[in-house]
Each structure stands twice: as structure tokens, then as C-alpha cells.
Amino acid sequence: MTIPLLKLVGVRKELSIRSDGHTISTVILPGISLEINRGEFAAITGPSGSGKTTLLYLMGILDQPTSGSIFLEGDDVTLNNEEELAGLRNSKLGFVYQFHFLLPEFSSLENVMMPMLARGRYAINKARERAKELLHQVDMSDRLHNKPNQLSGGQQQRVAIARALANEPILILADEPTGNLDSKNSELIYDLFQRLNAESGQTIVVVTHDESFAAKTKRNIHLVDGEIVRDSLHGI
């Protein structure tokens, strides 16, 4: 029996706010169960406030559930301490956000090298060569030495995707990666994700408001009020 790459079981998330001496709890996710298998390319959609980003952050162990369990490669990571979770995030997960968060004082090449050097997994020469390969993979070979302010929004996002791939993650999680881009650059980013999935078998989960983007992925998980109301498979 194949173990899911990522599995959520009864995951509930509440936020507690202290006001006028009282604690008010707001339920964001009432109890989600979900599996992501290796090689999937899935979109999480839903209206604003439906819990999409909260779900993505829980899947990426950037946040802890109020209750329920999250399994990564069969291991219950809700039992891990923060140091162990940080190690898992750095070694097994790649993140792409709406805003690229590239370090402005460093070149494209240096930004992509950073995660590899931070973990000490690669010597500097090997990190440089891998960064070059990744930037070639995202069609940025001609911008190796450009700093972020010398790149377009779409180019910055491609560098951010290369950086997310730096430590060979088993799963890439993207939060509105095209939300800050025009339609042409949004299409280029979709094409890049699709190619990574098709050619490398990279597992990708994307939160998006872009219905045309979501329609072209292999799976669409639609949330309303923190609950999955549709989970559909379709071809590309």
C-alpha cells in the first residue's frame, strides 16, 4: 500500500483573540482530512476567507493545528518540536509566495544558492553549479548576476521558484504565486509549474484565486468556510 506524501486527519484550526477580558475563538478550519500523493499537481481554491492559506501553512508545517494530525511521508509531524519542524521545512519542503521575498542585495544566482549554503548540504562550488542548473531550468540563465530590482515581476518569481527547488524538496507549496503578475507572466509561471510536474515528477500544491490556472492543474480542492466542498481530478 502506497503511503501518501502528505496526509491530514481531522485537522482543526482555531484562532483565539483576547478582548475585554474574554477569549473569543474563531474556527478557521473545522476538521479537514486530505491526502496528497507523490507527483500530484493540485490547486486549492475558494473565496476569500475560506481558509486556503491557513490550510497551506498547516500542510507546510509553518503552523500547528489546534487538533488533528499531519503526516509527512507517514510520520506524524504534529509530534515534532520546533527544531525538528524547521529541519523538515528546510530539507523536504519548498515555498513560493505571492511576493518573491528575494534578498535585494544579492544576485539571482546568490539568492538561489542561499538555502543550500544555509543548510551546509553543498560546498560553495557545488551550490553555485546547482543554482546555475536551476536557473537554467526556469529559463533565467541570462539573468544570473542581476539583482531583483533589475528583473521584472515574472522573472523575480521564476528566481523564487528556482530557490524553492534548491534543496530538492519532496513538495512545493505556493501561495498565490501569480497574484502579483499580469496574465502573460501568470501563464509563464503556470507553464513552469506544469513542466516541473510533468518532466521531474515534482509534487506541487498551489493556492490560487485564478480559476483559469486552477482549471489546468490535475486536481482542484475547493474550500468554502474552511471545509472541502469539492475535490475533483482532471487532466491537463
Q: What percent of the chain has pLDDT over 90?
A: 57
Task: Give residue 177's pLDDT.
Answer: 87
Per-chain mean pLDDT for the chain: 89
Task: Give residue 181's pLDDT.
Answer: 79
Residue 221, pLDDT > 90, answer yes
Confidence of residue 139 (pLDDT cuts 50, 70, 90): confident
Residue 102, pLDDT > 60, answer yes
Residue 1, pLDDT > 70, answer no
**What domains appear along the chain, each with residue ranges and CATH number?**
37-67+77-233 (3.40.50.300)
Confidence of residue 25 (pLDDT cuts 50, 70, 90): confident
Task: Give residue 186's pLDDT.
Answer: 84
Give phi and psi for 98, each to the nearest 5: -60, -40
Task: Give residue 236's pLDDT.
Answer: 47
Helix or strand (DSSP H, E) at 8: strand 6-19
Residue 17, pLDDT > 90, answer no
Question: What are 142-190's pLDDT values in tens digits?
Answer: 999 999 999 988 899 889 999 998 888 999 999 988 877 788 888 888 8
Residue 10, pLDDT > 90, answer yes
Question: What are 68-94's pLDDT values in tens digits?
Answer: 999 999 999 999 898 899 888 888 999
> What is the number of other CB atoms lying within 10 angstroms of the CB of residue 22?
7
Question: What are 206-219's pLDDT values in tens digits?
Answer: 999 888 888 889 99
C-alpha triplet 194, 50, 18: angle, nearest 5°? 130
pLDDT mean over 50-59:
93
With contact defined as beta carbons under 8 Å apart, do 235 and 41 qualify?
no
With contact defined as beta carbons under 8 Å apart, do 97 and 176 qualify?
yes
